[in-house]
Structures are given as structure tokens and as C-alpha cells.
């Protein structure tokens, strides 16, 4: 497998996402090899032949993770990618609702000690 150049990675990101995230641009300005490392990490994880999920489902999960971690750039890039893949407004809003429920459920789960002490 040929290691891609930073230029190849930029082209792929532009085709897939329509933009290059600002954080990636900043990292590239400091060290262009970071761009290649990021692409290789993605290839080994989300785009690996071991990933049994289709690209749209993978991107939906990536959006959910970005929402859960609060990564604004990842939220923007993955929402744009999903729209480009043909995801509907309803599908994307469903992801937001699921993540919202998970976040609220975590608070209840984290409150077990409080509930135990109030008994």
C-alpha cells in the first residue's frame, strides 16, 4: 500500500467532505506529515475492510461521537458529508435525538450515588 502525500489527502478530504477542517489545516501548517498520519488512522479505522458498516452508517456514528464529545468541526464536517451522501433531515435529527437521550441518561446513571445517599 502506497503512503499518500499530504496533497493526496487534501484532495480526498475535499472530495469527501467538501472542505478541510481548520484544525487539520493548522496541523498541516506545522507538520504536513500529520495530515498523512490522520488519513492513515482513518483508513485503519473507519475505512478498513474490517469495518462491516457502510460509509453512510459509519459517518452517522462519527457524527454521534462528535456530538457527544462536542467537536464542532467534526460535527460540521460529518453533517455536511451525510447531506452529500443523501441523508435526510429526519435521519440527521434522529442522530441528535439519540445522542441527547444518551447524554441525559448518563446524568441519571452518574447520579446513582446521590440516589443511594438519599434513601
CATH for 95: 1.20.1290.10
Q: Does 27 share its domain with 62?
A: no
Q: Does 5 share its domain with 29?
A: yes
User: Within its chain, how far is the Cα of 80 from the centroid?
Assistant: 11
The one-character DSSP state at 11 is H
Q: Does 57 share its domain with 94?
A: yes
pLDDT at 41 over 80: no
Would the pTM count as exceeding 0.75? no
Last residue of a domain, one of 36, 51, 66: 51
User: Which domain range does residue 58 map to?
Assistant: 53-119
Number of structural domains (the chain) is 2
The pLDDT assigned to 45 comes to: 63
Calculate what percentage of the chain has a pLDDT beyond 70.
93
Q: What are the tens digits of pLDDT across the range 67-106?
A: 999 989 889 999 999 999 999 999 999 999 999 999 989 8
Query: What is the torsional sign of CA 18, 57, 24, 40?
Result: negative
Q: Does 87 share its domain with 45?
A: no
Amino acid at each position: 500500500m502506497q503512503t499518500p502525500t499530504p496533497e493526496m489527502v487534501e484532495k480526498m478530504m475535499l472530495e469527501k467532505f467538501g472542505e478541510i477542517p481548520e484544525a487539520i489545516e493548522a496541523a498541516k501548517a506545522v507538520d504536513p506529515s500529520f495530515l498523512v498520519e490522520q488519513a492513515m488512522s482513518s483508513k485503519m479505522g473507519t475505512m478498513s475492510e474490517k469495518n462491516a458498516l457502510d460509509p453512510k452508517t459509519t459517518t452517522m456514528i462519527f457524527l454521534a461521537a462528535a456530538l457527544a464529545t462536542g467537536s464542532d468541526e467534526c460535527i460540521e464536517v460529518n453533517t455536511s458529508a451525510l447531506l452529500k451522501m443523501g441523508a435526510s433531515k429526519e435521519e440527521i435529527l434522529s442522530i441528535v435525538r439519540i445522542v441527547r437521550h444518551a447524554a441525559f441518561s448518563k446524568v441519571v446513571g452518574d447520579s446513582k450515588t446521590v440516589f443511594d445517599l438519599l434513601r
